Structure 1
Amino acid sequence: MAAHGTPTPLTAPASGPLTGEAHVPGDKSISHRSLILGALAVGETRITGLLEGQDVLDTATAMAAFGAEVVRHGEGRWSIHGVGTGGFAEPEDVIDCGNSGTGVRLVMGAMATTPIAATFTGDASLRARPMGRVTEPLALFGAEARGRAGGRLPLTLTGAALPVPVDYATPVASAQVKSAVLLAGLNAPGATVVTERVATRDHTERMLAGFGAEVTVEDTAAGHRIALIGRPELRPQAIAVPRDPSSAAFPVCAALIVPGSEIVVPNIGLNPTRAGLYTTLQDMGADLTFENPREEGGEPVADLRARYSPAMRGITVPPERAASMIDEYPILAVVAANAEGATHMPGTHELRVKESDRIDAMARGLRACGARVDETEDSFTVHGAGPGGLPGGATVAARLDHRIAMSFLIAGMAARAPVTVDDAGPIATSFPDFRPLMERLGARFEAATEDA
């Protein structure tokens, strides 16, 4: 089933050249955090460029349920009148976070040190995902979680009445876990510290500092250390959300593998903790150029030009790069299938607990399309067939996962035979304009029957 309704199968046949500008949505990570920190500030935060995918809309609804005044003024333009740190009210109903692991985990963190209770749920995909990795460190503050076996949703979280600060070393490289702990630390006295063995995306730290929190970041012998002084009065902000590098990955990678293509993605966010895919593509020989580099709202941005790149070759992606491109491995696997030689992707166990088991989903789907794929618990390898060498001709299970669905539609655009995904509906959670945007560039998609 689709994440939010009846399955909508979609087929991607071979595409002609892609040309033009790809105005991809606002960054999803920054959009979530803008709403949450705006709700915790005192006064009105105004946001432009907010991603209006279902994941972010569910977070906006959650902030309203906790007492913030959330208003949409037009496309991408929103305001949030915050309630202040520790000011969340107890919601009257269950908080439904849909398909968003980021949304539910960050919202749990934001409320965990306020003495209220809230029950969280989501769609079938989110209810299958582990929440213990967040509820365990939140328990150190004094919060109490009761959920299904394995700490899965639906889950009721009762915030700490007398929170204490926490010094926590993350066992997995996860920006969601780090961010949940830091957000919980906002309403705890003293310093809350998070130490990561590998630095993950740092939007939360940047935005906390922008809202007026005292945050220090340093590299130590133990790892990447972030310290937050609790109980600040957060100041409202004007936030311009840059375009999402994870969403941009799809038109960019399509341009690299579809003959004759050349596109530009303007104003793409290039935070170094998010740009690992683009470094990897350049290592493979992709023709990418970054034009007009600048900084907006504390985040580095540029205009990215991508051209058809038939000379790409497989590489071994450094495992320490995984945290900066964890959401991009599915589309990288499609590029790898169109490169010469093998692309080995180690250190990717986190993919197994995303919206779906993405290693398994990509391996099965690519094999159905005629590619050779090897996998272990913590890695996978795609053996490329060269430009235009992917046979295609398969129907692939999207597994309620937006990135799997988009990746295989891109695969079909460069394959010898069309590729169908069994349900394109989940794409709306992060990239509601995906189909019309790709079609404006020159792609062609066809509605398919469920048993296509």
Structure 2
Amino acid sequence: MIKLIKAPKSGLHGEITVPGDKSISHRALMFGAIANGETRIDNFLMSDDVLRTMTVFRELGVNMSQVGSQIKVIGKGLDKFTKPDHSLNMGNSGTSTRLLMGLLSKQPFDLPFFGDESLSKRPLRRVAGPLALMNAKFDLAADNFLPGTILANNNLQGITYDMPVASAQVKSAILLAGIQAEGETIVIEKRPSRDHTERMLRQFGGDITTNNGIITVHQQRQLRGQHVLVPSDISSAAFFMVAGLITPNSELTLKKVGVNPTRVGVIKLLERMGANIKQEPMPSNGEALADIVVKSQSLRGINITADDIPSAVDELPILALAATQALGDTVISGAAELRVKETDRIATVITELTKLGANIEERQDGMVIHGGTTLRALQGSVMLDSHGDHRIGMMNAIAALIAEGNVILTGEDAMSVSYPGFLADLASTMREKL
């Protein structure tokens, strides 16, 4: 339990380098583990979720070590893992669980795996279903929940799969199985989701084609170890973008942020809300990078629809906070996926922001946020809760910047899932200007 800090009248100022991208850190470990040779990963995110992936591969016999700020992985290829002597603990990491269900679906031994209480409530049907069509075999708890076992298997078959809902994790699980399967694996996307898996497969020497939403892979003969620079995570940077926009007298610069076109939905949505966000591109051999500059300014309400969700799904909680300060209403629809994140993020966003006086209507697939609301602790003091969800915890901390009264946060440890130093970085922006 901690007391959250209200922003000074002088606002927030300074340069922040947020931690490395969580999605890319996960995938860099995975591809490094299945490649031949050495992979070096710079700006790796040392967070709870990603460390779960690292632990899994160490238990599969992969040598992973830290040298200064760099992670070194000595790959074993896809068929030389060793059988762990106990069940694999996925903690609270949905990314680890879903992607590894695809990557480890062709191993000669059973792999029992489990998660914490929160992860055990998140359904795996959307991943297990298409993988089963490829002949992957799983023994999961009733209704496709953890705990479970990835069953021993020596035969995967390629499929053509039309994605019913845009999901990078489901797509990636299919592709990671597809690079081991006989024949051709095709994934068809109606709406594009983040493409880090496709980009990284190419970087490691893999063969993959993408054309108008049709992604095709075949069995890969050999991947080669690489040097991977992980960009700063735009999902983490989004909290500071909104903080800079809604906190009076503020100007923040966010350094070396990944601006992959499939991930910049949060910037596009904030710009539609009237924000002037400056991007200063930087040279890069991998993912696109830019410094991002934001200043406090007025926003207006917008409609956020299903077409907007795939490229901004993780940023919707902090966008909801921004919407409470905008002129007019913001309507979020087509976002039912929020119901099966670390928490039901439609419910938890509304619960927490309502404690501060926000006026939000719940809908099954989203919410209606009535803007122009002054946030305040209604009884002079209020206790907010992360609900064990890192993004809800960080949203609460940003809301406290502009809220009147005393704001307490419980469950602050959840922020370490993606951003262990978040509160320290936030505090660093509140130093008085010289």
For normalisation by structure 1, the TM-score amounts to: 0.92
Correspondence list, 1:96-107, <5 A:
96-107=89-100
Q: Distance in 1 between matches of 2:126 and 2:209?
A: 24
Structure 1 Cα separation of the partners of residues 286 and 305 of structure 2: 27
Alpha-carbon contact 2:101-2:173 (below 8 Å) kept = yes
Whether 1:246 and 2:235 are equivalent positions in the alignment is yes
- Give the direction of change, closer, same or farther, for the CA distance of 1:115–1:170 in structure 2 (3 Å limit): farther
1:204-258 C-alpha deviation (Å, 9 max, x unpaired): 0000011111100011xxxx21101113300110001000000111112111111
- In structure 2, the partner of 1:367 is 354
Equivalent positions of 1:39-188 (< 5 A) are 39-75=33-69, 77-188=70-181
Counterpart of 1:31 in 2: which secondary structure? helix
DSSP 3-state at the match of 2:6: coil
Matched, 1:20 2:14: yes
Query: Any idea what SS the aligned residue of 2:404 has?
Result: coil
CA, structure 1 residues 29+255, in 2 after alignment: closer, same or farther (shift >3 Å)?
Answer: same
Query: Which residue in 2 is equivalent to 1:283?
Result: 272
The one-letter code of the counterpart of 1:14 is K
Q: What is residue 448 of structure 1 aligned with on the other side?
A: none
Determine the structure 1 residue equivalent to 2:291. 303
The alignment partner of 2:61 has SS state of coil
Q: Which moved more, 1:365-374 or 1:161-170?
A: 161-170
Give the Å deviation of 1:443. Answer: 7.7
Aligned to 1:325: 312
Q: CA deviation at 1:295?
A: 4.5
Q: 1 CA distance for matches of 2:110 and 2:283?
A: 40
Q: In the superposition, relative to structure 1, how do residues 92 and 297 fare at CA in structure 2: closer, same or farther (>3 Å)?
A: farther
Q: 1:390 — aligned with what? A: 375
| Residue of structure 1 equivalent to 2:224 | 235
Pairs aligned (count):
427
- Provide the residue aligned with 1:412 in structure 2: 400
Offset at residue 107 of structure 1 (A): 1.4
- Give the whole-Å Cα distance in 2 for the aligned partners of 1:144 and 1:190: 18
Counterpart in the other structure of 1:422: 410
Shift in Å, 1:142: 1.7
Q: 1:35 aligns with which of 13, 16, 29?
A: 29
TM-aligned CA deviation for residue 171 of structure 1: 2.1
CA RMSD of aligned residues (A): 1.5
Whole-Å separation in 1 of the counterparts to 2:405 and 2:316: 23
Question: Secondary structure of 1:299's match?
Answer: coil
| CA displacement, residues 33-79 of structure 1 (integer Å, 9 cap, x when unaligned) | 0000000001110100000011111111111112211111123x101
Q: Percent identity?
A: 40
Alpha-carbon distance in 2 for matches of 1:400, 1:208: 33
| Match of residue 3 from structure 2 | 11
Moved over 4 A (4+): none
Q: In 1, distance between residues paired with 2:332 and 2:152?
A: 39
- Unpaired runs of 5+ residues, structure 1, are 1-8, 445-452
1:377 to 364, 367, 385: 364
Correspondence for 1:350 among 337, 344, 350? 337
Does the CA-based 8 Å contact 2:256-2:282 persist in structure 1? Answer: no
Counterpart amino acid of residue 409 in structure 2: V
Within the candidate set 253, 256, 260, 1:264 is matched to 253
Q: Say if 1:356 and 1:399, in contact at 8 Å, map to a contact too.
A: yes
Tell me the distance in 2 between the aligned counterparts of 1:297 and 1:431.
25
**What's 2:424 paired with?**
436
The 2-side partners of 1:396 and 1:350 are apart by 23
Output the amino acid matched with 1:414: I
Is the Cα–Cα contact under 8 Å of residues 85 and 186 in structure 1 kept in the other structure?
no
Q: Give the aligned residue type for 1:407.
A: M
Deviation at 1:159, TM superposition (A): 4.0
- Tell me, yes or no, if the aligned pair for 1:87 and 1:114 is still in contact at 8 Å: no
One-letter amino acid of the structure 2 residue matched with residue 72 of structure 1: Q
Return the offset for 1:409.
1.0
How far 1:135 sits from its partner (Å)? 1.3
Between the aligned partners of 1:397 and 1:436, the Cα distance in structure 2 is 19
CA drift of 1:168 comes to: 1.5
Query: CA 1:66 to 1:125, structure 2 compared with 1: closer, same or farther past 3 Å?
Result: same
What is the one-letter code of the residue matched to 1:320?
D
Read off the aligned partner of 2:249 and give its amino acid letter: G
Q: Aligned partners of 1:189, 1:213: CA distance in 2, in Å?
A: 16
Distance 1:120 1:296 in 2: 37
Cα distance change, pair 443–106 in 1 and its aligned pair in 2 (3 A): farther
Amino acid at match of 1:328: E
* Aligned counterpart in structure 2 of residue 204 of structure 1, from 197, 200, 211: 197
Contact kept, 8 Å, 1:35 with 1:59, in 2: the verdict is yes
CA distance in 2, matches of 1:198, 1:119: 33
Is the 2:180–2:218 contact (alpha carbons within 8 Å) kept by the matching residues of 1? no
Note closer, same or farther for the CA distance 1:183–1:295 as it changes in structure 2 (3 Å cut).
farther
Name the aligned partner's letter for residue 161 of structure 1.
N
**Aligned mates of 1:104, 1:11 — CA distance in 2:** 34
- Secondary structure of the corresponding residue to residue 292 of structure 2: strand
Structure with more relative contact order (C-alpha pairs < 8 Å, separation 6 or more):
1
Q: Secondary structure at the match of 2:143?
A: helix
Is the CA contact (8 Å cut-off) linking 1:41 and 1:82 kept in structure 2? yes
Q: 1:280 and 1:420 mapped to 2: Cα distance?
A: 30
